[in-house]
A and B are shown apart, each in its own frame.
Chain A
Amino acid sequence: MSLSLQARQLACERDDRWLFEDLDLDIRAGEIVRIEGPNGSGKTTLLKILSGQLADYQGELFWNGMPMRESRRAFLESLLYLGHAPGVKAALTPLENLTWYQALAGESDNEAARLAALESVGLVGYEDVAVGQLSAGQQRRVALARLALTPRPLWVLDEPFTAIDRDGVAALEERLIVHARAGGCVLVTTHHELRKTDELRRVQLGRGGQSHGGL
């Protein structure tokens, strides 16, 4: 599977302040790209632009060589985005939440896959408990179960390690590396120091306008 997400001269202005300017990015299969920068440097905004949620930017985005506007559907079919908010319903059980995501992703109703996904994030025994009664870390794990449930080549993860315990962080990190090695691609923001591997690449967003694309 080959995939590439390119940004050319990306710039975004918020409240009369340039978050980043002239940002060139080349993201390819087999990479883990970590967006770094202090609080308020526009990491989340950049992820939202790169995942096609914000239209308020300058520059061009290309998905597999095609302009993003023309290939939006193909792009969305390859994308798995996890935002700040986990996107799980507190009144529903983890299984019901995953049922909805499975259907949204266009996959057939498969309870075995949902149970396996919950098992992969260590939520065995919590399948039928309302998500609202789970801890913050467990709620985040329900959202992370989507990584196993709906296979997508491009993962865009905004602070996925928030509220996750140490073992969970290690497992998730391992999962990102496995995904990249299998030809997938991960875009991630985190304050957690990721293990140095061949797949890892860092993009630094500076404060107040300076930004450095690439290494």
Chain B
Amino acid sequence: MAVSETRLSEKEGRGVSRGEPGGGLAVALWATLRRDLTLLMRRRGEVLNPLVFFALVITLFPIGISPDPQLLATIAPGLLWVAALLAALLSLDSLFRGDYDDGSLEQLMLTPQPLPMLAMAKVAVHWLMTGLPLALMAPILGIMLSLPAGSYLVLALSLALGTASLSLIGAIGAALTVGLSRGGVLLSLLVLPLYIPVLIFGAGSVQAAIVGDGVAAHLAILGALLALSLMLAPWAIAASLRISING
């Protein structure tokens, strides 16, 4: 490599990073999204795990309790929501773990781009590969629990909104425990209390749809919870990652 070449490319490189910091961030976010999606596509087992868990739990309940449609319909909203919540929780531990183990996380933290935004890209991938499929799957499993017609759309919608909050809140716990070799249990203990409001209003919205009450209020509160997590979680995740790396 010639000396002059190095200098020349150095100039170019710095010109780009200085010239358009906003564009630089968008490029970095897009690249992180694409990288994580590619990674998950190559390890499908990891993506399927929470979905299979969700399906298994819901399948086992009618067998374990009773096939009585009326009884099942009463407990279905809560059941679907609890199972989806646990499935989402199950997949959280791996959110930053792989990057921590192979050193990509230190590199992510040493870029000039703001860490909260980059962490958001990772959370977005988590939701796309866990929360969204869970929400799409739930109506099908709802049939198995003889969920009354008319509540399916609300179920999917409430889960889509709710799991986004779950991913955001859970990522804080995942970031805090990424430095621990067995952080799984601690992670659950940390984030479960914060999941409870989402669970209450999520299951509540489906319940309301069944009874025939307005669901708008429940969905609005779920949306508000999501807005709140979107506002606070990125910074909390970034701070937690810094603590974990420092330790």
Contact = CB atoms under 8 A, between A and B. Distances in A.
Interface of A: 1, 51-56, 73, 76-77, 79, 81, 83-92, 96, 99-109, 120, 148, 150-153, 175, 178-179, 181-184
A interface secondary structure, majority? loop
Nearest to B20: A106
A110 to B, nearest CB: 10
A159 to B, nearest CB: 12
16 contacts: A53-B109, A54-B246, A55-B246, A77-B17, A81-B107, A83-B106, A83-B107, A85-B102, A89-B39, A92-B35, A104-B28, A106-B27, A106-B112, A107-B17, A178-B1, A179-B6
Interface of B: 1, 3, 6-7, 9-10, 12-14, 16-18, 21, 24, 27-28, 30-32, 35, 38-39, 42-43, 98, 101-104, 106-113, 242, 245-246
Contacts of B12: 151
Given A96-B35, A103-B32, A150-B13, 4 more contacts: A76-B112, A87-B107, A104-B32, A151-B14
Most buried by B among A53, A99, A103: A103
A151 B102 contact: no
B31 A85 contact: no
Contact of A105 (B1, B13, B101, B246): B13
B101 A85 contact: yes
A197 to B, nearest CB: 15
Contacts, number: 116
A43 B9 CA distance: 31
Contact of B35 (A73, A85, A100, A181): A100
Contacts of B112: 73, 76-77, 106
Contacts of B24: 106
Nearest to A54: B246
Most buried by B among A56, A108, A151, A181: A151
A104 B111 contact: yes
Given A103-B30, A108-B16, A175-B1, A96 B102 contact: no
Given A87-B104, A104-B108, A99 B6 contact: no
A105 B113 CA distance: 8
Nearest to A81: B110
A103 B34 CA distance: 11
A106 B28 contact: yes
B106 A100 contact: no
A89 B1 contact: no
Contacts of A183: 7
Contact of B31 (A77, A84, A104): A104
Given A84-B103, A100-B31, A151-B13, A105 B111 contact: yes
